Amino acid sequence: MTGLQSKPEIPSHWELAYTDKLASHMVQQFRRATGLLADGESPIILANVGIETLCEADWMVNIMVRAYKNQIILENIDAIHLSERAQMESKFLPASDAIPTGTSPLQDIAEPAVIVDRSGGYSDMNNVDHLAHSLHAGLTAGAKGNWQTSEALYNMDADTKGVINMSPVWFQQARHGGTAIPEVSAAMRTESAQQWLSSIWDEAAIQSGALAIMHPEMYCSGLQTMVKLGEFAEEIGDTCMTAILAQWPSVYNVGSLMVNRASPFHIDRFGRPQWFDLLVTFGTYSDLYFLLPTLGLTLQYCPGTVIAMSGKMIEHGVGQTDGDRAVLA
C-alpha cells in the first residue's frame, strides 16, 4: 500500500475528476495514519465534496488503517503458484471444480484484516470466521454449464431478482474480434440508469479511493483506460458514449448489480490475477458468509461489507439468504 503513481490528465468536467480528488485525499489520510506521509506534503484541498461524503470516506480510511495494522499471514499459501494454477485449470474444469479447497488452518478474525500469503503477495480485507464445509455441496449443485443464468441460484420468493451489467464502453455479448467496436451497454442507454449514476457517486468514489490505497497501480491504470476511452469516443463521434463517460464516477469501467442471487464456487474467467475485484453487499438479511475454500476461510458477509480480492486467483462462492440482498461489483 503506497502512494499513487503517475496519473493521466482527466477532463475537468468529468465526474471521475472529482472521484480522483476524493481518492487522493483518502490516500493522503491513509499515509498520514500509517506513518507513510512524506514530510512537508501539502494537504489536499477538496472543493464541491459534501461533508457527509467526506465523513464516509474518512470512515473507510479508518477501517483500512485497522486492517493494515492487522496483517494475517497464511503460511501454506503461495500467491504465485496459486495464480499459475488458476489460469491453467480454469480453461478445462467446470466452475465448481476449478480449484480444490486449500489446507490452510481456519482462523477467527474479529477485526478488519489484510490477509497475505507467505511472501506478503496477496491481500484481502475483511473479517474472517469459521469455514462452513457443509455449504460447499449446496453451492456446487447446479454449477455446471452456464451457472450465471440458473434459476436455482436465485431467491425465487423475492420480489426483485436478477443481474444487470452497466458500462460506458464495452463489447456487446457475442461481438468480438478485430471488427467489433465497443459500445455503451444497453442498460446505460436509459434515462433511469443515468439518474442512478448520479445517485451512486459517493459510493463509487469511495470505492475507487479504497482501490487507490490498496492497489495504486490498478487505480492509475483504470484512470488511464477511462481517459483513453474518452478519446476513442470523440474520435468515432459517439456522443452517447462521450456523455456517459463524463458521468461515470468509477475507475472500474464495468459495474454489475446482482440481486438476490447465490454464486457457486468459481474463479473469474476474465481479468488478470493481480487485479482486485471490489464487492459491496447491502440489504436486509443476516447469517451470510463469503466462502474462500482455496484459503480455507469464510468471511462474514453482513450488509455493508466490502471485499477486495483477486477473483481470478481465488475460488469463491456465496450462498442464499432469507432476506433481500444486492451486490455491486
**H helical segments located in the chain:** 15-33, 51-68, 79-89, 134-140, 191-199, 201-214, 216-236, 239-247
**pLDDT at res. 220:** 95
Q: Residue 32 is placed in which grid cell?
A: 498520514
**pLDDT at res. 212:** 96
Q: Residue 93 is placed in which grid cell?
A: 474444469
| CA 318 remoteness from chain centre | 15
What is the pLDDT of the chain when averaged over all its residues?
76
Q: Residue 303 is placed in which grid cell?
A: 450488509
Distance between CA 32 and CA 135 in Å, rounded? 42
pLDDT in tens, 229-242: 999 999 999 999 99
Single-letter amino acid code for the residue at 219? Y
Residue 176, C-beta contacts closer than 8 angstroms, at least 6 positions apart? none
Question: What is the three-state SS of 86-150?
Answer: HHHHCCCCCHHHCCCCCCCCCCCEEEEEEEEECCCCCCCEEEEECCCCHHHHHHHCCCCCCHHHC
259 forms beta bridges with 162, 326
pLDDT band (50, 70, 90) for residue 103: very low
Q: Residue 178 is placed in which grid cell?
A: 478485430
Distance between CA 27 and CA 244 in Å, rounded? 27
pLDDT in tens, 205-222: 999 999 999 999 999 999
pLDDT in tens, 151-193: 777 777 778 888 888 888 876 554 555 556 788 888 888 888 7
Min mean pLDDT across 79-83, 165-169, 180-184, 276-280 is at: 79-83
